[in-house]
Amino acid sequence: MSGPKTYEIRADFDRETLVVYQAYRKEIGLPAIEAQKFVAPFSFTRMTWIKPSFLWLMERSNWGQKSDQAMILAVRIRRQAWESALREAVLTHPEKKIYGSNEAWREQFEKARVIVQWDPERSLRGAKLEYSAIQVGISRHLIEDYATKWITEIKDYTPLSRKIHAFCRDGEYDKAKKLLPSERVYPVPEEIAKRLGMT
């Protein structure tokens, strides 16, 4: 019998900032790196998803091999903004212990500016792990703040991603592991943990 599902936020973070990962086509990624914020043709009218798990994004983007996700960006954002977003987040599923009923959840979900989805974390080999990783959807109502105010730095992790992937293809997982971005368990304030179903 499997144990309870574990939700954890693991990230590369310091006292003030946290790194989230996104994958875009070059037409969006290159201007973002140059401007150190998101600019056109980045869309300010639809939801964008940010993920603090590098390996989860590698799974999602097939190591940057999908045509519209060929550029891997490491976006460093302010922790204050990150936690502010999580404080108003609504889960993508109607967790009864949080919302009480499907109707109550739906009412909140339809108005949400931030949504959270939990997905199985991945190993270097792409296997599902025992805990889930977070991805956060920033709606069009908040996206301009994210794109221009939350960000302190944008780095191109495409070459790093390709190098790690090459080691994995060659079965050299020890070498690949040494190149992974450093991620550790993020200290989530109790009120946010409750809101996200982590407790």
- The 3-class SS string of the chain reads CCCCCEECCEECECCCEEEEEEEECHHHHHHHHHHCCCCCCCCCCCCEEEECCHHHHHHHHCCCCCHHHCEEEEEEEEHHHHHHHHHCCEECCCCHHHHCCHHHHHHHHHHCCEEEEEEEEECCCCCEEEEEEEEEEECCCCHHHHHHHHEEEEEECHHHHHHHHHHHHCCCHHHHHHHCCCCEECCCCHHHHHHCCCC
Average of pLDDT values for 103-125?
A: 96
Lowest mean per-residue pLDDT among 4-18, 22-36, 41-55, 78-92: 4-18
The per-residue pLDDT for 75 is: 98
Average pLDDT over the chain reads: 95
pLDDT band at 187 (very low <50, low <70, confident <90, very high): very high
Contacts of 137 (CB under 8 A, 6+ apart): 47, 48, 49, 92, 114, 115, 116, 117
What is the percent of the chain where pLDDT is above 70? 97
Over residues 3-35, the pLDDT tens digits come to 446 899 999 999 999 999 999 999 999 999 999
The per-residue pLDDT for 5 is: 63
Average of pLDDT values for 147-170?
A: 97
What is the percent of the chain where pLDDT is above 90? 94
pLDDT score of 2 more than 80:
no
**Rounded-to-integer distance, Cα 145 and Cα 175, Å:** 38
pLDDT score of 1 more than 90:
no
Residue 117, Ramachandran bin (φ over 0: left; ψ between -120 and 50: alpha; else beta): beta
What is the pTM for the complete model shown? 0.94
The per-residue pLDDT for 199 is: 82
The per-residue pLDDT for 67 is: 83
Measuring CA to CA, how many Å separate 134 from each of 8, 30, 37, 117, 121?
A: 7, 26, 23, 6, 9
